[in-house]
Amino acid sequence: MTSEVTVNIPLLGEEEKQLLSECIDSGWISSEGPFVGEFERQLASRVGRKFGVAVTNGSAALEAAMIALGLNAGDEVILPAHTIISCAQAIVRAGAVPVVVDCDPSTWNMTVEHVAAAITPKTRAIMIVHIFGLPVDIGPILRLAAEAKLKIIEDAAEAHGQTWSGRPCGSFGDVSVFSFYANKVITTGEGGMILTDDPSIAERCRSLRNLCFQQPRFVHEELGWNLRMTNLQAALGLAQLRRLDTSLRKKRQMGTFYTSHLSRIRGLQLPLPSTAYADNMYWVYPVVLSDELSFNSTEAMRRFADERIGTRPFFWPIHQQPVLRRMGLFSDTPHAPVSERIAKRGFYLPSGLGMKEEQMQRVVDVARRVLQ
């Protein structure tokens, strides 16, 4: 039987083993270990931030960051319709109201035009989310936010090592977040980080991640979470961070390989290789089926699965999420036709850093056969 090609194959090596062994040998496996603080400092330095706060995952990072911004009940936060539900969930749990905007059909990212049209007297913040390896054109949105006195939350979960006009993603706005899930360029299995230049936001996030302990220790004035990253996770993160540039080169090589072989398939929209402000880092390799094809992404993914090739669908639009609709959100049915279309016609191919070229070639061969 032909072996399976999973949608993500992480790359873990000898340095990860060495640092994990140090954790075990020293006995420091909890969040009190020294690698946590070192990971925070090194990632913050890499992206040009003053403070890093490591947490359990990217969703937790978003939720703590939103609370730390001090939004009030009913405040509106603009975010893309085309993103993971964690973004909207963080807004809702902070007591704010998510307001979605559509994405650009070429980059699949939010645009300043859509954001500007969504601002109301209740708008207090914009959540920028970089999608699939190309960053949002963030400069115009930052200028708009400054004029309107709005806070910026930057979700750089899919943009490790990426830049906008030469400036690192994760360095923008009041607060930014990363995820270190297994399919990210830097992975700790699960894990996340909050980054900011504001010492009060950093201190607030540190308190929230640690049950809001104070003095005396077990007397609490407010409720936080246990969002602490372990020393074991941070050890993995440090090893991964040290070879980030090598990983980015490989990601771009993989993207170039796929594009050169898949560009001959009719009816397939491929990711842009670059924009005026960034080269694609191909966090994943997404494709969108044209309307001329008689099948949608569900059928395409079924065909790949029959060939033992793993794929993943695009995000389902935030404003069409049943759980949010039941909460009374988006009752006015926002207009986001691009996000709605690509949710039904988009999916991404295997592109983990641990993939071998022969596995990529097999994906290409299968794609030519099942997508024609």
Same domain, 256 and 201: no
**In this prediction, what percent of the chain has a pLDDT beyond 90?**
96
The three-class DSSP label of residue 263 is: coil
Whether residues 262 and 360 fall in one domain:
yes
Q: How far is residue 305 CA from its own chain's centroid?
A: 25
Q: Is 336 contained in some domain? A: yes
Residue 182 and residue 321 in one domain: no
Q: Specify whether the CB–CB gap between 219 and 231 falls below 8 A.
A: no
CA 233-238-195 angle, to 5 degrees, is 85
Report the CATH number at residue 266: 3.90.1150.10
CA–CA separation, 223 and 105 (whole Å): 42
Q: Of 242, 260, 277, which residue sits at a domain end?
A: 242
64 has a pLDDT exceeding 90: yes
Region 14-40 average pLDDT: 96
Cα maximum dimension of the chain: 67
238 lies in the same domain as 298: no
Kindly state whether residue 5 falls inside one of the protein's structural domains: no
Q: Measuring CA to CA, which residue among 349, 353, 352 is closest to residue 363?
A: 349
Residue 132 belongs to some domain of the structure: yes
Let me know if residue 7 belongs to a domain.
Answer: no
DSSP 260: H
Laid out side by side, the sheet with 123-129 consists of: 51-55, 192-196, 175-179, 151-155, 123-129, 76-80, 97-101
| The pLDDT of residue 335 | 83
DSSP lists the bridge partners of residue 253 as: none
Q: Does residue 214 have a pLDDT over 90?
A: no
Domain count across the chain = 2
Q: Residues 48-65: what's their mean pLDDT?
A: 98
49, part of any domain: yes
Confidence tier at 282 by pLDDT (50, 70, 90): very high
Same domain, residue pair 61 and 38: yes
My answer on whether 75 and 173 are in the same domain is yes
Do 231 and 257 belong together in one domain?
no
Please indicate, yes or no, if residue 6 is contained in any of the structural domains.
Answer: no
What mean pLDDT do residues 115-130 have? 98
d(CA 267, CA 372): 8
Question: Band of the pLDDT at 2, cuts 50, 70, 90?
Answer: confident
| Of the residues 242, 272, 296, the one at which a domain ends | 242
pLDDT tens sequence across 141-152: 999 999 999 999
Distance CA 257, CA 262 (A): 9
User: What are 225's two structure tokens?
Assistant: 């979470």
Residues 217, 287, single domain; the answer is no
Phi first, then psi: give them for residue 48, nearest 5 degrees.
80, 30
pTM to 2 decimals?
A: 0.96
In a domain, 9, yes or no: no
What's the whole-number average pLDDT of the chain?
96
pLDDT tens for 181-196 read 999 999 999 999 999 9
Q: In terms of Cα–Cα distance, which of 25, 12, 19 is closest to 39?
A: 19
1 pLDDT above the threshold of 70: no
Other beta carbons within 10 angstroms of residue 51's beta carbon come to 19
Do 236 and 250 sit in the same domain of this protein? no
Q: 304 lies in which domain range?
A: 244-370
201 and 332, same domain (yes or no): no
236 lies in the same domain as 298:
no
Residues 338, 237, single domain; the answer is no
CATH number at residue 79: 3.40.640.10
Domain stop point among 209, 242, 275: 242
DSSP string, 43-56: HHHHHT-SEEEEES
Q: Report yes or no on 182 lying in a domain.
A: yes
